[in-house]
Amino acid sequence: MNLIFVNRFFFPDHSATSQLLSDLAFHLAGLGDQVHVVTSRQRYEDPGACLLAEERVSGVSIHRVWTSRFGRNLPVGRVLDYVTFYLSAGWLLLRLAGTGDTVVAKTDPPLISVVAAVAARLRGARIVNWMQDVFPEAATALGVKGVGGWVGYLLQRCRDASLKRAVMNVALSEAMAAYLVERGAKRDRVCVIPNWADEEAIIPVPTERNRLRQQWGLAGKFVAGYSGNMGRAHEFETILDAIARLESEANIVFLFIGGGNQRVYLENEAVRRGLSHIQFKPYQPRELLAESLGAADVHLISLRSAAERFVVPSKFYGVAAAGRPVIYIGDRNGEIARTIRSSHCGATVQPQESAELASLLLTLRNDEGLRREWGRNARHMSEEKFSKKKLLSLWRETLLSCRV
C-alpha cells in the first residue's frame, strides 16, 4: 500500500496523537508498505522547535511543512498556526498523492480532513478519516468562542462532506461512531478502532521499585495521579474540591504530570486554596512512561459530560497498561465509565461529587488489596482490549479493506 498520513505532530514529538500515529506508521512501514507522513516542524510543547523539513526514519518518509509558530497560548496565534498548516499540507498533498493512494487524515489541526479530502479527490486518491475527536461539536460543547452559530453550522457542513467522501471513518468509540452516522456517514464506512497502549513498554512497576517515586519524594505516600493533557475537555473542579477535603491527610499526595491550557489554572488554584499536597511535573519521556504512570497508586481521569460523544481520553489506555486502578470523573453512562464497570478496574464519580471522590480515595488508601485487584483487572483489560499489537493489526486490515 502507498499511504500518506496527515497530522500536525509526529515523531519525535511526545503528544498523544503523535505517539499513536508514530506507532502505526512505523508498524506499516515495517511490513513493507510505502508510508509518508505530512506534519509540521514543531513540537506540541515547543512551537519554536524546528525539526528537519525532510527525514526518513525506520522506513517512513517524513515531510515537515512550514507553518507559523505562535503556539497554543494565544487564540489568534493558534488559528494562524492552523491556517498555515492547512495551506502547506494541502499543497504538499497535491504533489504527493496519486491515483490509488490512501490518505489518512487525523484531527489535528481540526478539519484537516476537509483539506485532505479535497486534495485526495483532485489526485484520485482515497481518504480515510481517523477521528481522535469530533470538531466543531467538541469545541461548541466546551464553550469555545467563535465556533457557534452560523460559523459552527458551516464548519459542520464542511466536515460532514469529508465524512461522506471518505472510504472509511475510524472512530474511537461506539458513541462517536453512532454520531458520525447521524451526521451522514454511511454505516458501512464507519468502524471503531480504539486507541492503545504499548503493553510491552508500559508494564506494571511495583511502587517499591519505582525510581521516580523515590526521586520525587513519594516513598511511603498514597499517590493519586493525573497524567497527560490538562485541556478544556477535562473537569478539574471536582478534583480540586476533593483535594481540599483531604488537606489534613498528610500521607496523601496528588501528582499532576503533563501540560495543557489548564495547567496554569491548576497551579494557581493550588496556591490560592493553600493546597500543600500537590506536585506538578512536566511530560516524561516515552521510555519512562512505565515508571511515570506507575508512580501513582490510583489515577484520576476526567471528562466534561458535554464532550462525552466527541472526545475519548487517551490517557486511560496507558494507565490500564501500567496496571493501575482508575477513578473516572465524568458521565456514568459514558464510554470510559462503561469500560471500567465491565472490567472491574476502578470506579466512576459524577462531576461535582467531590465528597464521594474524597471518600473513595480514602477507601483505596486503606485497602491495598482492592488497589491490587483493580490494578490486575486493568492490566488484563489492556492486554485483551487495547493491545497495541492487536489494534495495529486491525488498522492494517481496515486499510487493506479500503482498497477493495
pLDDT digits (tens, 9 = 90+) for 340-365: 999 999 999 999 999 999 999 999 99
Question: What is the mean pLDDT of the segment spanning 229-251?
Answer: 95
- Mean pLDDT rounded to a whole number for the chain: 94
Largest CA distance in the chain: 65
Q: Which three cell numbers, joined as nine digits, stand for 303?
A: 471528562
- Which pLDDT belongs to residue 178? 97
Instruction: Please check whether residues 349 and 248 belong to one and the same domain.
Output: yes
Q: Which pLDDT band, with edges at 50, 70 and 90, does 69 fall under?
A: confident
Q: How many domains does the chain have?
A: 2
- Rounded Cα distance, 87 and 312, in Å: 28
Q: Which of 139-148, 282-291, 335-344, 394-403 has the lowest mean pLDDT?
A: 139-148
Instruction: Please check whether residues 94 and 31 belong to one and the same domain.
Output: yes
Asked if the structure places residue 201 within a domain, the reply is no
- Rounded Cα distance, 195 and 204, in Å: 19
Q: 352 is in which domain, residue-wise? A: 207-385
Instruction: Please check whether residues 162 and 290 belong to one and the same domain.
Output: no
> Which of the 8 DSSP states describes residue 296?
-
Total residue count of the chain as it appears in this document: 404
Question: What's the predicted TM-score (pTM) here?
Answer: 0.92
Instruction: Please check whether residues 66 and 150 belong to one and the same domain.
Output: yes
Instruction: Please check whether residues 175 and 306 belong to one and the same domain.
Output: no
DSSP string, 63-117: EEE------SSSHHHHHHHHHHHHHHHHHHHHHH--TT-EEEE-SSSTTHHHHHH
Instruction: Please check whether residues 69 and 109 belong to one and the same domain.
Output: yes
Q: Which residues sit opposite 56 in a β-bridge?
A: 61
Percent of the chain having pLDDT more than 70?
99
The winner for highest mean pLDDT among 197-201, 256-260, 377-381 is 377-381
- Asked if pLDDT for residue 403 goes beyond 80, the answer is no
Instruction: Please check whether residues 26 and 123 belong to one and the same domain.
Output: yes
Question: What is the mean pLDDT of the segment spanning 195-223?
Answer: 94
Instruction: Please check whether residues 153 and 27 belong to one and the same domain.
Output: yes
Asked if the structure places residue 57 within a domain, the reply is yes
Asked if the structure places residue 202 within a domain, the reply is no
- Rounded Cα distance, 196 and 198, in Å: 7
Instruction: Please check whether residues 123 and 160 belong to one and the same domain.
Output: yes
CA-to-CA dists, residue 203 to 168, 206, 323, angstroms: 33, 10, 7
CA-to-CA dists, residue 395 to 134, 166, 214, angstroms: 20, 16, 39
Instruction: Please check whether residues 164 and 223 belong to one and the same domain.
Output: no
Buried b (16+ CB within 10 A) or exposed e, 373-397: ebbebbbebbeebbbbeebbebbbe
- The CATH number for 166's domain is 3.40.50.2000
Instruction: Please check whether residues 164 and 261 belong to one and the same domain.
Output: no
Instruction: Please check whether residues 262 and 145 belong to one and the same domain.
Output: no
